[in-house]
Structure 1
Amino acid sequence: MTAKITVGWREWLSLPELGIEKIKAKVDTGARTSCIHAINIEEYEEDGEKWVKFIAQPLQDDEQTRITCKAKVKKIKAVTSSSGQKELRYFIETTLHAGQHSWPIEVTLTSRATMKFRMLLGRTAMENRIVVDPALSHLLDS
C-alpha cells in the first residue's frame, strides 16, 4: 500500500494540461466531484469528438489573468451544487499536480465567480491518495 499524501483544507495545485500553473483549491471531502471556475464555455467538435473551450480565471479577485483552455468532454451530467441547485455541467479529465505527485482527475466546469476558491478538490479525486488535516493549510510545495 502506497503512503497517502497529507494535505490541508486548502492547497495550491496545478493543472498543467490546461495551462493552469497555480490555482488555490478548497480540499472538500463533502463534495463528490471536483470543479474549476470556467467562463465562456463553448462546445465544439474535433475529429468527431465533443470538446470544450473555456476561459479559466485561476486567481481569486484577479479578473485580468485569463487562461484559454480546451479539453475533450468526458460526459455532460446534472450536478447538484452546495446550494441545492441542479446544473448541467461538462466533465473533463486532466492531470492534477499536487506537490511532487500527479494523477488524472475528473473535473466539472462551472462559474465560481462568487466563491472564495476557484477550485474544489472533491473526494473522488482524493480517493486512496490523500488524507486531509483540516487544521492545516498549504502543506504542498507547488
Structure 2
Amino acid sequence: MSSKIVLGWREAAALPALGLAAIRAKIDTGARSSALHVDSQWRFVEAGMPWVGFELTPGALGAGRVEARAPVHDERWVTDSGGHRSSRVFIRTVLSLAGIEREIEINLADRRGMRFPMLLGRTAVTGAFTVDPSRSFLHGRIRRRHPRV
C-alpha cells in the first residue's frame, strides 16, 4: 500500500511565500521542471545576491495582479512542449498542495494563452504524490469571485 497522496491531472495549489493563496496548476509528469506564468519580470541585486521581481495575474479569480520577489536560484535553458528553447530564471519556494508543504524549484515563464498559469513537473511531485490522470481537483477547487462572462 502506497502512502503517497493521489493528485488529479489538475489541482489548486498555493505558493504562500509568493503571496499566492490559490492558483490553478496542471500536474504534468512528462515535464521535468515546474513553471509559473509571469506577466513581467526584472532583476536586481540585494545584499550582493541576484534576485528577480515579477508580476503575475493568477487567473480569473478577481484577485488582480500579484507582485512577488525571490532570490535567483539558477538560470537554465528549458525546452518547451513545442520544442522551443529559452533561457529561464529558476527560483525555489514552498508549494502547498493537498495538505503537504515542500520546497520546489520553479522557472518563470510566459504561459500567456495556456489554460493553467502553473505547471507542476515531476520533480515537484516525486516522492510525496502519485497522479491519477483520469481525475481532477481531488483536493478542492478554486472558487471564482465572479462568473465567467
TM tier, shorter chain? over 0.9
Aligned residue number for residue 40 of structure 1 = 40
- Partner amino acid for 2:128? R
Output the CA distance in 2 between the equivalents of 1:106 and 1:75: 9
Contact 2:11 2:140 in 1 (8 A): no
Contact 1:8 1:134 in 2 (8 A): yes
* Offset at residue 99 of structure 1 (A): 2.2
Output the CA distance in 2 between the equivalents of 1:27 and 1:116: 12
- Partner amino acid for 2:4? K
Instruction: Mark the runs of 5 or more structure 1 residues left unpaired by the alignment.
Output: none
Cα-Cα RMSD: 1.8
Aligned residue number for residue 3 of structure 1 = 3
Output the CA distance in 1 between the equivalents of 2:65 and 2:2: 37
Aligned residue number for residue 71 of structure 1 = 70
Contact 2:53 2:68 in 1 (8 A): yes
CA gap 1:6/1:18 in 2 versus in 1, 3 angstroms: same
Output the CA distance in 2 between the equivalents of 1:11 and 1:18: 18
Higher normalized strand content (fraction of residues): 1
Aligned residue number for residue 24 of structure 1 = 24
- Partner amino acid for 2:98? G
CA gap 1:137/1:3 in 2 versus in 1, 3 angstroms: same
CA gap 1:33/1:44 in 2 versus in 1, 3 angstroms: same
CA gap 1:15/1:64 in 2 versus in 1, 3 angstroms: closer
* Offset at residue 57 of structure 1 (A): 1.3
Output the CA distance in 2 between the equivalents of 1:2 and 1:98: 18
* Offset at residue 63 of structure 1 (A): 8.8
Percentage of identical aligned residues:
40
Structure 1 segment 42-57 matched on structure 2, within 5 A: 42-57=42-57
* Offset at residue 53 of structure 1 (A): 0.3
Contact 1:57 1:63 in 2 (8 A): no
Contact 1:100 1:141 in 2 (8 A): no
- Partner amino acid for 1:67? V
Structure 1 segment 85-124 matched on structure 2, within 5 A: 85-124=84-123
CA gap 1:51/1:2 in 2 versus in 1, 3 angstroms: farther
Output the CA distance in 1 between the equivalents of 2:84 and 2:134: 29
- Aligned length in residues: 141
Contact 2:10 2:137 in 1 (8 A): yes
Q: State the SS of the aligned residue for 1:124.
A: helix
Runs of 4+ aligned residues of structure 1 deviating over 2 Å after TM superposition are 61-64
TM-score when normalising by structure 1? 0.94
